[in-house]
Amino acid sequence: MPETILVVEDEEKIARLLQIELECEGYRVLKAGNGLQALELFQGGGVDLLLLDVMLPGISGIELLRRVRQHDSRVAVLLLTAKDSVEDKVSGLDLGANDYITKPFQIEELLARIRSALRLTTASAAQRAEPGAQGLLMADNLSLNESTREVVRGGTNIELTPREFDLLVYLLRNQRQVLSRDQIMAAVWGYDYVGETNVVDVYIRYVRKKINQGEQPELIHTVRGIGYVLKDAP
């Protein structure tokens, strides 16, 4: 059964072009021209990925993302943003978007990012379904439950976006191993990810800030010239 992509774009010519390209790649495509229509289609079920324009009439793309994440923390969401909309990019990532692509874009890059996002969500679903795969990962007073997706440190619950969660899982599974940026990017974003090269540093900073919150010791350490390591002591 083909994977279903919901294209949320108010410019009909762009939406139609995206539909043609995606259907040629074998995807099933749904289209919505505004946030309310998109929300209705999404709630009908069966959507594997939202291709979501930030600038929408009525409900904005960011608000639609917030509502989607209230009901589903796992569906892939790829934002379409304007070139200079840094605030929208940050807000979208904070609310749980898997990735973003800046307009105008090359269709090959968009397709690569879609494949990457779908592969990661599929792998995550398969892992949850695998008997014995759900486990508790721990480092010092930090615990992560892969089954419930709960992260707790020092008795305080920590809210992570889907990408931040996947990153922390990878670091915890490879405790005390120095991981290069390329290793982290391949494991968390996928081998064909074509986004900005500093994305690993950005997300490490996000996760580090959230899991610290005044707690000691520092868990994620920078290894200059190489990458990062998670361990409970310097």
The DSSP 8-state label assigned to residue 233 in this structure reads -
Q: Where are the domains of the chain?
A: 4-129, 136-230
Q: Is the dihedral of CA 115, 116, 119, 124 positive or negative?
A: negative
pLDDT of residue 197: 62
Q: Is the pLDDT of residue 127 over 70?
A: no
Q: Is the pLDDT of residue 81 over 90?
A: no
Q: What is the CA radius of gyration of the chain?
A: 18
User: Nearest Cα to 146, choosing from 162, 224, 205?
Assistant: 162
Q: Is the pLDDT of residue 133 over 50?
A: no
Kindly give the residue spans of alpha helices, DSSP state H, lying in the chain.
12-24, 35-43, 61-71, 86-94, 107-129, 162-173, 181-188, 199-212
Average pLDDT over residues 132-142: 75
Give 171-211 pLDDT, tens digit per residue: 999 998 899 988 898 888 875 565 666 889 999 999 999 99
Average pLDDT over residues 130-150: 77
Fold of 136-230: Arc Repressor Mutant, subunit A (1.10.10)
User: Nearest Cα to 205, choosing from 170, 164, 165, 148?
Assistant: 164
Q: Is the pLDDT of residue 63 over 70?
A: yes
- Architecture of 4-129 per CATH? 3-Layer(aba) Sandwich (3.40)
